[in-house]
Chains A and B, each alone.
Chain A
């Protein structure tokens, strides 16, 4: 059965040793957005009953070797891969984005910021590149969202062929920009190629971004622009025909999913 109301939507928040935004993600989902949230320990091997999974920010496994390099071999990531392949929605923020790239669920890699400095910008401007996706349907193309960033390794890198494919397939959803929506080197905080702040897979069910939508869901605490992304996901889940079950044939794309 697909969820009928927000209280029926179940989102898993994966907890790796060293995750630190897991509780913020849980708070945003359960206490602000009104869906059911469940922590999923990194040793769990099943995501049964979940409508979506979030990989939170932090420093999984101490960021040893490379950010996300150890996390990709954790038992839960095998389940996340199966979940994504069955059409389940997977959101990775910050360290979660790094883990998605290390795991190959998204292309490219996130390397040390060009400045070598850890960035902490509570109101980073991000330009929305398209709105006809499961993640951005509550905003418009060209609109600027203000969402916090805080990372040391957020410089998106991919080889030229991959960058070309990302553009051709419309996989870039967010770019770093000026507050009035101009994309320029000066407005690029970490040196990301093509100013990339967030990308999805071609199918549209896996989205990774360095900014933290879960930190921007309440007006008194840095604004509500993060809700546009999380609410869009919840809309998508409410419209989805059925809960993805690993092993079953992939479900058809929801009406809002890109071609």
Chain B
């Protein structure tokens, strides 16, 4: 089963990378961009297992390694085959 974990800087944590990308878009003329935050996306091919178990496992992986809970939060999506 395919899973996707999106890791984003927590609300209130400085995101200088996002700010720089936003400024670059503005200088390209995309004035419609109001705000931008930059994060990371992990695409994971996971062995087949019950959905709840997969979600629990992905949360565990995120907390341990994929994200640093001090500065980042994460969202998990699972795609059925």
Contacts and interface: CB of A to CB of B under 8 A. Distances in A.
A258 interface: no
B16 A115 contact: yes
Contacts of B14: 111, 114, 155, 157, 191
Given A109-B71, A111-B71, A157-B71, A116 B66 contact: no
Given A109-B68, A111-B71, A157 B13 contact: yes
B65 A73 contact: yes
Contacts of A107: 70
Contacts, number: 36
B77 interface: no
Interface in A50-93: 65-66, 69, 73
Contacts of B9: 111
- Chain A contact residues: over half helix, strand or loop, or mixed? loop
- Chain B contact residues: over half helix, strand or loop, or mixed? mixed
Interface string A156-178: 01110000000000000000000
Nearest to A155: B14
A69 B20 CA distance: 24
B65 A69 contact: yes
Contacts of B20: 116
Range of interface residues on B (Cβ < 8 Å): 10 to 19
A36 interface: no
A224 B71 CA distance: 35
B70 A113 contact: no
Q: By CB atoms of chain B within 10 A, which of A107, A109, A113 has the most?
A: A109
A115 B65 CA distance: 26
Interface residues of A, number: 20
A112 B65 contact: no
B36 to A, nearest CB: 14
A225 interface: no
A21 interface: no
A102 B67 CA distance: 10
A99 B70 CA distance: 14
A158 B71 CA distance: 8
Interface string B41-81: 00000000000000000000000011010110000000000
A108 interface: yes
Interface of B: 9, 13-14, 16-17, 20, 65-66, 68, 70-71
11 contacts: A66-B68, A69-B68, A109-B68, A109-B71, A111-B71, A112-B17, A113-B16, A114-B16, A155-B14, A157-B14, A157-B71
